[in-house]
Amino acid sequence: MRAIVYSENGSSEVLRLEERPVPEPAAGEVRVRIAVSAVNPTDWKNRSGGGTGAGETGDRTPNQDGAGVVDAVGAGVTSVVPGDRVWLFLSAYQRPTGTAQEFTVVPAERVVKLPEGVSFDQGASMGVPAMTAHRALTVHEGGPARLSPGALEGRTVLVAGGAGAVGHAAIQLAHWAGATVVTTVSSAEKAASAASAGADIVVNYREENAAEVIRTAAPDGVDLVVEVSPSKNAELDAAVLANHGSIAVYANDGGDTMTLDVRAHFAINARYQFLLLYTVGAEALSTAAEDITAALADGALPVGTEAGLPLIRFALEDTAAAHDAVEQGVTGKVLIDVADLPAER
């Protein structure tokens, strides 16, 4: 089979295309023939030696997320059978078996059935972004712990950076769950993308007074913030947060340190919740996978330009260029076409 492999950390130049034996699934594992592999920031960071990739040795295949068809199952696996169309998450976490190859073997709990009519592109676009968004939307002091239609009814959610992959998924999931969704963006193009994703109020923070616009839209404040850049947005978040509001931080865009006005935060009983998908635990991952699959079945998580998330495609042999595109901050979802599999079972 064709596989992208790297043996040492570094720039995208360390990635190479090789022929490898098709792996066999052990007990509790599933072999998936990959149709589409997805690239997230965590993938190039791990390859470069940062993030969870620090200290890893030996040959590895990158990319956490993807979608395809179950090809074989190991002993004891009953959740899927050969022929099932599936999406995968955290395929390369603490394993050398990412999705940038024609076949990959992963634990059964990281393989989720795709609902009927949901494309491989949609499935590959879930994983890290959608599961991170799900976690961010379920850490509020008053709940909910699960997402479903109506679960966030009456709540106002602020999504920082609504044009990014996590921001896009957060808008869609919050909208599906019934929240009023406010988002901040930095350009008219990104504003259009966020609106297409389902945001109710879109604020261009470079052209508007974001705090004033958000407070006008939500006079009682924002219940939950999905935050990508706490170092830059701490002051804004404090200015718009409701009493007992929560700020869920999933990234450190803009820097690793932040300054907080202590009095302003304890006066409104504010809660900061930091989250890293890799270490949230099996229960949180399983819950997210179930809710995301339900949202997919409801048609709530479309991808593509019309849905506010342009798809940027690469061939498997161009995986290095795909990594570079994500590292350089391309707007949209970067996908790698691995195999032309039937769209339906």
* 3-class SS letters over 80-109: CCCCCEEEECCCCCCCCECCCECEEEEEHH
- Per-residue pLDDT, 83: 97
Same domain for 121 and 134, yes or no, is: no
β-pair partners for 66: 37, 88
Domain final residue pick, 231, 258, 278 = 278
Instruction: Measure the CA–CA gap between 10 and 79, rounded to whole angstroms.
Output: 37
CB-based contact 255:228 (threshold 8 Å): no
- CA dist 96 to 47, 53, 92, 148, Å? 11, 10, 6, 34
- CA dist 277 to 46, 63, 230, Å? 14, 15, 17
Same domain for 162 and 258, yes or no, is: yes
The bridge status of strand 271-274 relative to strand 241-249 is parallel
Domain that holds residue 250: 130-278
Same domain for 141 and 265, yes or no, is: yes
- Per-residue pLDDT, 340: 85
Instruction: Measure the CA–CA gap between 44 and 47, rounded to whole angstroms.
Output: 5
Same domain for 146 and 109, yes or no, is: no
Instruction: Answer whether residue 183 is part of any domain.
Output: yes
CB-based contact 101:4 (threshold 8 Å): yes
Instruction: Answer whether residue 205 is part of any domain.
Output: yes
Same domain for 174 and 216, yes or no, is: yes
Phi, psi for 130 (deg, rounded to 5): -70, -40
Same domain for 99 and 135, yes or no, is: no
CB-based contact 59:5 (threshold 8 Å): yes
63-76 pLDDT, tens digit per residue, is 999 999 999 999 99
- Per-residue pLDDT, 52: 64
Instruction: Measure the CA–CA gap between 323 and 46, rounded to whole angstroms.
Output: 11
Instruction: Answer whether residue 41 is part of any domain.
Output: yes
248-295 pLDDT, tens digit per residue, is 999 988 889 999 999 989 999 999 999 999 999 999 999 999 999 999
Instruction: Measure the CA–CA gap between 103 and 3, rounded to whole angstroms.
Output: 8
Instruction: Answer whether residue 295 is part of any domain.
Output: no
- Per-residue pLDDT, 282: 95
Domain final residue pick, 278, 297, 325 = 278
Q: Is 142 exposed, middle or buried (0-12, 13-18, 19+ CB in 10 A)?
A: exposed
Domain count, the chain: 2
Same domain for 16 and 104, yes or no, is: yes
- Per-residue pLDDT, 345: 42
The CATH code of the domain that includes 247 is 3.40.50.720
CB-based contact 178:146 (threshold 8 Å): no
β-pair partners for 76: none
**Which stretches of the chain drop beneath a pLDDT of 70?**
51-56, 343-345
Same domain for 138 and 273, yes or no, is: yes
- Per-residue pLDDT, 138: 97
β-pair partners for 272: 247
pTM: 0.95
Same domain for 117 and 214, yes or no, is: no
- Per-residue pLDDT, 143: 85
In the three-class reduction of DSSP (H, G, I as helix; E, B as strand; rest coil), residue 220 is classed as coil
Instruction: Answer whether residue 284 is part of any domain.
Output: no
The CATH code of the domain that includes 53 is 3.90.180.10
Q: Is 344 exposed, middle or buried (0-12, 13-18, 19+ CB in 10 A)?
A: exposed
In the three-class reduction of DSSP (H, G, I as helix; E, B as strand; rest coil), residue 189 is classed as helix
Instruction: Answer whether residue 152 is part of any domain.
Output: yes
Same domain for 40 and 93, yes or no, is: yes
Q: How many residues comprise the chain? A: 345
Same domain for 116 and 196, yes or no, is: no
Average pLDDT of the chain is 95
Same domain for 189 and 243, yes or no, is: yes
Instruction: Answer whether residue 119 is part of any domain.
Output: yes
Instruction: Answer whether residue 287 is part of any domain.
Output: no
11: CB partners within 8 A, 6+ apart: 48
